[in-house]
Every structure is written in C-alpha cells, then in structure tokens.
C-alpha cells in the first residue's frame, strides 16, 4: 500500500495524469495487465478465456494509446507464454488484442491511406521516421539527462525509485518472483533504451522524462521488494533507519510532484533546471496554475491564464487554493487507515 501511494503521488505519474498525454494511461494499462497475469500465474485466479481476452485487450489498447507501449507488451506476452498452459490458450490473448488493433488499423487507413501506415511516417521530425519511434543507439548525454540530470532526471525528482535496484535484487534472492522481476527489468531497460536513443530525449516541454512513464510502475513493483527485507532485518535500528530514509525520499518526491502539478507540469525547454528555476520559485510565492495556453489556440489571449484548480474556482488564492486537494488526500488517508487496521475478531487487516 505504501509503494502504491508513493507511485501515485511521488512520481511523474501524478502530474502527467492531469494532462491529455497518453503516457500515464499506457502505463496503467500495462501494469493492470501484468497484475492480472501475475494473479493467474500464482493461482489466485484461473486462466479462463474471458480473463485472457481481457489481458489481450489491455495490452493492445496500450499500443493504441501510445505506440511505444509495444516495448512493454512484448515482455508481458513472453511472460504469459512462459506459464499459460496448455499453450493454445494464448490464442484467447491474441483474440483480445484484435478489437483495438482493428480500431487503430481503421483509423490509420482513414487518416493516412493504409491500415499499417502510422502517423510517424508523416512527422515533420525526420528522426521519427527512422526505425520504430526513432529507436537507435543510446547516447551518453541522454542517459545522464533522463536519470540524474537537473533538466529531465527521473531520480532528481523522484529519488525513491532508486530503491528498485536493491528491491529487485531481494525479490530475486527470496525466490518465487524471479520471472516477474525479469519482466520488470525488461520493461524498464527497454524504455530506458528508447528514451536514451531519441534525438528529442527530453520529451519537449516537461518536468521529467515523460517517455519513461510506462516503466515507472514496474520500478515501483521492484522497489516493493525492500518491504519484506526491512521487516525481516535482524537489526532494529538499521530497519528503522531504512524506513526513515525511504519515507524521507518518498516525501521529497511527493512534494516535488505536487509543486510541479500545481504550478505547471509543462516547463519550457528554455529552462535548464525546471524545479529550481521555475516550479519551486512559483510554488513558494503561491503562483499556481500559470498555464497560458488555451485548448482552443484560436481563442487564446496573449498572457491570459487558462488553467485553475478547484480551490481557485471557489475563491481561494495562492497556496490556500490547494486546501480542497489536501482535504481530499487527508480523507483518503483516514479511509485507508480505517480499512487496513486489524479486525478485532480475526486480527487481520480489513
């Protein structure tokens, strides 16, 4: 539960879930399909046709939403082929993938003249027409930039995701989840490869590497491996220190994501350090929802703001406009505490 909250509030999933981008939706579709596959593999559910077709639909629709999601679909299909028996039952997964595939083919046919003709073939950026999505050899500058760089570094804004490395190692050492960690590692590495090989690896206006978004839930799953490890640690002080450090990293990440979402997740490319030079200064002075781009560009007025949060619509200004959001979070926190507290009769969580 803690890792789920950290993923939702302490990663780029938060700001990009508020924008009309496909990255967060593709990530959700992939990780839901993965969860259904894992439950089926562990025997919590069966591999009946309806469930397998649902998994196929989710995987296929993730590609409709974001072409690059194909990099996550391939490892998940390989995972399904590893345990689904008898093997012909995989045909139900393929059948579930057909409807979204036909939708995409029909759209491409109508828009671009052929069922297999993708929009990138007509991109004004020539590098998008090379290979798949512009995939090529990774560049050192891009690898540094999308990891620890202040410009678009994933770990600069969400350092707790680094726990995926020791967490993944622990999952493998305890056994029973090695195949799942293999899937997580494959998805993460494939998206890092994609992002670090793109000519526009920075992803345009943004506060982080948005092309990595579909890989983030798989990093969070790996990081969850530290939970059992810290509980089983024989040294109480070391365990408490580990929990405190993790909580601090998550708290820092959640604050950075909240500030970025409240101000404007789309930071201009001309700002070399989005957080220190744009987002945090505006957040501290209470200048929130500063977007000046209208959805209907023809009606836009230069300098006028076209964004607002719920607090601003009811007359609250500055940081006080975040009170409705914080109240919702507090109410959700109380509900979670009530739900997870042990039941008096059974002693297990409700």
The full DSSP string for 62-123 is HHHH-GGGHHHHHHHHHHHHHH-SSGGGHHHHHHHHHHHHHHHHHHHHHHHSSTT--GGGG-
What is the tens place of the pLDDT at every residue in 205-226? 999 999 999 999 999 999 998 8
Mean pLDDT for 73-96 is: 94
> Within a domain: residue 331?
no
Which range of 22-31, 82-91, 290-299, 332-341 scores highest in mean pLDDT? It is: 22-31
Least confident window among 204-208, 247-251, 306-310: 306-310
State residue 47's pLDDT score.
Answer: 76
Rounded CA-CA distance 256/283 in Å is 10
Residue 87, domain member (yes or no): yes
Residue 315, token pair as written in the block: 């007359």
Tell me how far apart the alpha carbons of residues 60 and 100 are, in angstroms, rounded to a whole number: 6
335 assigned to some structural domain: no
Supply the mean pLDDT for the chain: 89
Q: Is residue 46's pLDDT more than 90?
A: no
pLDDT of residue 191 exceeding 70: yes
Phi/psi at 349 (5° precision) = -65, 140
- Residue 343 is assigned to a structural domain of this protein: no
CB-neighbour burial class of residue 234 (10 A; exposed 0-12, middle 13-18, buried 19+): exposed
Say if residues 307 and 300 touch (Cβ distance below 8 Å): no
Among 116, 146, 118, 34, which Cα is nearest to 79's? Answer: 34
Question: Domain for residue 228, yes or no?
Answer: yes
Domain span at residue 114?
2-307
Q: How many domains does the chain have?
A: 1
**Has residue 300 got a pLDDT over 60?**
no
- Block residue for tokens 């798949």: 132
pTM of the entire predicted model = 0.90
Distance CA 34, CA 62 (A): 12
Whether the pLDDT of residue 261 is over 90: the answer is yes
Q: Is residue 345 part of a domain?
A: no
pLDDT of residue 137: 86
- 149 within some domain: yes
The token pair that represents 298 in the structure block: 């023809």
Q: List, for residues 122-169, the tens digit of each pLDDT value.
A: 877 766 656 666 678 889 999 999 999 999 999 999 999 999 999 999
Q: Is residue 136 part of a domain?
A: yes
Tokens of 12: 């780029």
What's the rounded Cα separation, in Å, for the pair 196 and 202? 9
Tokens read off for 102: 């036909």
- Which pair of tokens denotes residue 324? 């409705």
């Amino acid at each position: 539960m803690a890792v789920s909250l950290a993923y939702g509030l302490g990663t780029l999933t938060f700001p990009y879930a508020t924008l009309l981008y496909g990255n967060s939706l593709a990530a959700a579709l992939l990780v839901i399909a993965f969860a259904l596959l894992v439950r089926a593999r562990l025997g919590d559910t069966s591999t009946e046709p309806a469930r397998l077709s649902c998994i196929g639909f989710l995987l296929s629709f993730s590609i409709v939403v974001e072409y690059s999601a194909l990099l996550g679909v391939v490892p998940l299909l390989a995972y399904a082929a590893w345990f689904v028996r008898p093997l012909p039952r995989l045909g139900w997964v393929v059948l579930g993938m057909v409807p979204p595939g036909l939708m995409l083919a029909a759209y491409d046919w109508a828009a671009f003249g052929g069922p297999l003709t993708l929009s990138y073939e007509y991109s004004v950026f020539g590098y998008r027409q090379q290979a798949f999505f512009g995939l090529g050899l990774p560049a050192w500058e891009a690898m540094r930039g999308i990891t620890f760089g202040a410009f678009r570094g994933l770990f600069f804004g969400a350092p707790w995701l680094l726990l995926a490395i020791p967490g993944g190692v622990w999952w493998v050492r305890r056994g029973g989840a090695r195949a799942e960690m293999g899937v997580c590692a494959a998805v993460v590495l494939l998206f890092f490869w994609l992002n670090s090989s793109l000519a526009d690896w920075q992803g345009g206006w943004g506060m982080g590497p948005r092309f990595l978004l579909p890989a983030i839930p798989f990093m969070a799953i790996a990081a969850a491996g530290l939970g059992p490890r810290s509980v089983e640690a024989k040294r109480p002080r070391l365990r408490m220190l580990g929990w405190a450090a993790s909580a601090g990293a998550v708290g820092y990440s959640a604050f950075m994501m909240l500030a970025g979402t409240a101000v404007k997740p789309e930071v201009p490319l001309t700002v070399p350090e989005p957080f220190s030079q744009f987002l945090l200064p505006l957040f501290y002075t209470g200048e929130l929802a500063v977007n000046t781009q209208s959805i209907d560009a023809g009606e836009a007025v230069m300098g006028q703001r076209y964004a607002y949060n719920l607090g601003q619509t009811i007359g609250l200004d500055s940081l006080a406009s975040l009170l409705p959001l914080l109240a919702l979070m507090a109410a959700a926190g109380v509900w979670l505490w009530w739900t997870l507290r042990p039941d008096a009769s059974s002693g297990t969580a409700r």
